[in-house]
Amino acid sequence: MPQVSTPGSIVVLTGAGISKESGLDTFRDHDGLWARVRIEDVATPEGFHRDPGRVQHFYNARRRELSEGGIEPNPAHLALARLERDWPGEVLIVTQNIDDLHERAGTSNLIHMHGELLKIRCERCQRPMRWAADLEVSSLCPDCGRAGVLRPHVVWFGEVPLEMDRILTALDRCSLFVSIGTSGHVYPAAGFVSAVRNGGRARTLELNLEPSNGASLFHDVRTGPASELVPAFVD
C-alpha cells in the first residue's frame, strides 16, 4: 500500500501501456496502431465524415478483438481494483483507454475520458448505447428513432474529452497522482501532472515501460512492465 501523509484521495491516470500485456496494441510504440493506420483517417471527426465505413470497419475489428480475442485484465488492472477496495480514501481511475479491462477487473470509480469501444452514440440525440454487430452507421437510432449517424462513442482529435470537470476537481483535491502506461503525448491528459504540481500539495508518480515525454515533471519515475510495477506499488 503506498505511503502518503493522510489517507487522502488518489487519482490514477492509465494509458494504452497498461493493456499491452493483456494483448492490446498501444498507439505510438513501433508496433502500435498508428504505425498501421493514419490518425487523420480513423481518429478525427473529419475522417469519419469522409469515410464512415472505413472508420466503422476499424472499430469493429477492435471490438471483435476485445470481445472474442481472449483479452483479459492483467495483474496491473487487478491491482488497481484492489487499491480501490482497500485504500481508506477515494481512488479515482481516469483511463484514456477505450477497452473495458478496468471494469472487468473490478474497478468501479472510473472515468473513460476518451470514450468506450463497446458503445456507439447517435449524432442526433447524443445518447451513448451498447454497440451491436448489426448496427450500421446509417441505422435508425434505437433510442430516438431518427435517421442520423451512429458513430463510435470515442473521443477523436479535436474533440473535447469526457467528464473534464470531474477530472480537474479530483486532480485539484488529490494527495497522490499516479500515471501508468501513457506516453504523455496527448493533451489534456499529458497536462495532468503539471496541473497537480501547480496545485503544490500532491505527490506524483509515473509507472511506465520507459520514461514518458513528461517524466521530468514527476517526483518519482519507475520503469518496467505495468504487470510488475503496479502490483508492487499497490501491495
- The secondary structure of the chain in percent helix, strand, coil, rounded to multiples of 5, reads 35, 20, 45
- What single-letter DSSP state applies at residue 215? G
- Of 120 and 175, nearer to ligand BJW (C-beta) is 120
Fill in the DSSP letter of residue 213: T
Three-state SS at 32:
coil
- In angstroms, give the least distance from the CB of 51 to ligand BJW: 15
> In 129-149, which positions are buried (b, 16+ CB within 10 angstroms) versus exposed (e)?
bebeeebebeeebeeeeeeeb
Is 112 considered catalytic here?
no
How near is the Cβ of 108 to ligand BJW at its closest, in Å? 21
- The answer to the question of whether 18 is labelled as a binding residue is yes
Known binder of ligand: residue 118?
A: no
Give whichever of 26 and 175 is closer to ligand BJW, judged by the CB atom: 26
- Smallest Cα–Cα separation from 130: which of 152, 114, 149, 112? 152
The annotation status of 226 as a binding-site residue, yes or no, is yes
The residue among 8 and 32 lying less far from ligand BJW, judged by its C-beta, is: 32
Flag whether 108 is marked binding.
no
Which of 77, 102, 112, 114 is the catalytic position? 114
Distance in angstroms (rounded) separating the CA atoms of residues 6 and 88: 10
Site for ligand BJW, rule CB under 6 A: 15-17, 20-21, 26-29, 32, 43, 96, 98, 114, 154-161, 164, 181-183, 185-188, 208-210, 212, 225-226
Which residues are known to be catalytic?
114
